[in-house]
Each structure stands twice: as C-alpha cells, then as structure tokens.
Amino acid sequence: MSRKPISLRTELPLLIWLVIVWGALWRDFSPGNLLFGALIALVVARIFYLPPVELSGRFNVLRAVPFALVFLAKVVAASFQVIFLAVVKGPKVVNAVVEVPLRSHSDLMVTATGHVLSLIPGSLVVEVDRSTSTLYIHGLDIRDEADAAGLRKEVQDTEAGLIRIMGTKAELAALEAETAPPRAATKGETP
C-alpha cells in the first residue's frame, strides 16, 4: 500500500494532540515528559500508519470559539429535547431518514460534520455514502416535509460552519460563492 507522504507541518497538529494526551494521562507536563511523549508520538505516527488524516492547513480560531460555544449549548439543548420527547411523546414519536448531500468531499470534513450532527438536537447519522459525500440522517421528531427541510438546512449550516473553521481554501471559496448575495463579494476571511 503506497502512501502519499505528508509533510511534518500538516501532521504537526495531530502530533501535538498526541503529546497533550500523553501529558494528560501522565498528569505531568514537565519538559522531559513532553519530549519523551513527542518522541513516542513520532514513532507511533510513523510505524502504525492509518489512512492519513488530511488536514486542510488552515484553522480559523475566531470562528472556532463561537462554534464551540454554540455546539456546547446545542448539546445541552439536545439533552433537554430528548427528555421532553421521551416524556411527552414517547412511543408515538415520528421520525424521518433524510438524505443530505454535503459540499465537501474531504473525509475529515464529512466525519467532523457527522460527529457534530450526532451530538446536536434531533439528528443521527445512519449511513454515509462516501463516493457522493452524502449523509443519511435519522431525525428525531420530524413529522412532515417542512421539518425535514429544516433538518437539511441544519445539516448544511453545520457543514458550512465547519468549512469556515477548517475547510480548505477551495471549499471556502465555493461556500462563499454559494452563499454570497448577488452584490459584491463578502469581505475576506480572517485567516
């Protein structure tokens, strides 16, 4: 199996993550321990190679923080929605399986979108068609076509948010072109 070589720079965020996990597990963030952790991270990443995670090379912190806060709020809302539905509707709840095509074809983006969707209110990924980058979402309490349209919009908004945070430049440009109103192009992204 041949593997496209990845530069250390694109791999760096993942290696740093491994070192943080190492430090957290040892509860020791002293330089010596971190250095040893970095060594192990490098060896692990070189020897046990999985299909490479292709990071896009950009990460917008200004957009990531509000996204994370909204996400946390949605996790809370999801729990209370489940409480409400479980108590009030229970066995009579009506659901739907909805097909939503995504914009991005990157594995990482599809996975991230699927993860976020599974944790926010009312959606769960049932099936992924990787070739067309289509998610099949199981929506809780989707009674009619209007609700289903809302769910589709929610999915695509979630993906748009993630693209703005860490999509590739090409994906971002496509998104801007799609969402920009007919007037002049919107202001440039903060990198």
- Interface with other proteins (CB under 8 A): 20-21, 23-25, 27-29, 48, 50-51, 75-76, 78-79, 81-83, 85-87, 90-99, 107, 111, 114-115, 117-119, 121-122, 124-131, 136, 138, 140, 142-145, 147-148
User: With respect to other proteins, which residue has the nearer C-beta, 118 or 186?
Assistant: 118
State the nearest-atom distance from the C-beta of 114 to other proteins, in Å.
6
User: With respect to other proteins, which residue has the nearer C-beta, 88 or 177?
Assistant: 88
Angle at 96 between CA 95 and CA 102, to 5 degrees: 140
Residue 93's closest CA among 106, 102, 84?
84
DSSP state of 131: T
d(CA 99, CA 126): 10
State the nearest-atom distance from the C-beta of 180 to other proteins, in Å.
29
Q: Which two tokens stand for residue 25?
A: 């597990």
State the nearest-atom distance from the C-beta of 29 to other proteins, in Å.
8
Query: What is the total residue count of the chain?
Result: 191
State the nearest-atom distance from the C-beta of 164 to other proteins, in Å.
20
Q: Coil, strand or helix: which one is 54? A: coil
